[in-house]
Amino acid sequence: MKSPTTLVTGIAGFIGSHVADELIAKGHNVIGLDDLSGGFVNNVPKEATFVQGSITDHKLVDNLFDTYKFDYVIHTAAYAAEGLSHFIRRYNYENNLIGSVNLINASVRLGTVKCFTFTSSMAVYGANQVPMVEDMTPAPEDPYGNAKYCVELDLQEAHEMFGLNYVIIRPHNVYGERQNTSDRYRNVIGIFMNKILMNEPMTVFGDGLQTRAFSDISDVAPIIAATIERKECYGEIINVGADQPYTILEMAEAVSVAMGVEPNIIHLEERYEVKHAYSSHDKLNRLMGDLRKNVSLEEGLKKMARWVKEVGAREPSKFAAIEIHRKIYDFWKIEDLNADDKKAA
């Protein structure tokens, strides 16, 4: 039997590289697309065919589909800096919405794609909807959530009009090995661990009583990879991640323990964000409960801490192409964000 050929976008990134590993283990011929804006080449499995490029390049995307005749598409590529998305609106929509539409267009035109799995986000739910359940009416509160929800709607319409099978996964607060710990705008566990390695205090926005359920990558990637071959998942929206919510302060304490240091925390100004966000996983348990490992926060942090210490500290990245400077938070000062440009001038 011919091995299925599967496109994984964002393959050099955190979630995408782990999903690719799972697919390769299942015998898939994996083609990976990534622009390396937030990923690393050494994350790409050696068995995969890697193409460097952006999903925003529709000619490149069309050429890949024509060349490889994909059986499946798993779309993990995104710029997922939710809090920053208010200030990079054009960049957010070009990468997270238009880039996704390019992939949907190509899938529909090709006609061989059996299923398109999209990694959306719990950001589509908005505030005051906990635990978040898949049949709730989305009410995103930032441009990132808007873009993700728009792609969800577009996939549903592509199915109604053209018969494109899809699965929508809403993961949340995923952490683990290969995460980009140099990204200062997202992935709080990676940020905290990197700060500890740099002998800097962990920075908490506001009072730190925001609640999230932190999800180990080994409880997320296998489920995403399995969706394309489980027809009972087709047409479904599925929350994926951990059940137990923690406050940011509790998580910071747990990170300190995993890293073997005393907690060193400073509080910064409160930012505009959903205060409490955690999901129900009743549907996940019903459809794919056999794949859940239920990794505890303590166990997951220990694994990640070992990896982070091996990798070492990374210089935090600076997003230079800020589009709106009004109301930008003090901790993302304009002069700091543009420091790299000034050095180059």
Residue 247 gets the label, from left (phi > 0), alpha (psi -120 to 50) or beta, of beta
For the chain, percent of residues with pLDDT exceeding 70 = 96
User: Sorting pLDDT into bands at 50, 70 and 90, what band is 331?
Assistant: confident
Nearest alpha-carbon partner for 248 in 295, 306, 305, 189? 189
Q: Residue 43 forms beta bridges with which residues?
A: none
For the chain, percent of residues with pLDDT exceeding 90 = 85
pLDDT in tens, 302-311: 999 999 999 9
Residue 300 Cα distances to 63, 242, 307, angstroms: 39, 11, 11
Residues 301 and 74: their CA atoms lie apart, in Å, by 27
Nearest alpha-carbon partner for 148 in 101, 218, 215, 88? 101
The single residue listed with the structure tokens 């920053």 is 84
pLDDT in tens, 169-203: 999 999 999 999 999 888 999 999 999 999 999 99
In the chain, the amino acid numbered 345 is A
User: Sorting pLDDT into bands at 50, 70 and 90, what band is 343?
Assistant: very low
Residues 171 and 49: their CA atoms lie apart, in Å, by 26
- Which strands sit side by side in the sheet containing 72-75, from one edge to the other? 49-52, 29-34, 5-9, 72-75, 115-119, 166-171, 237-240
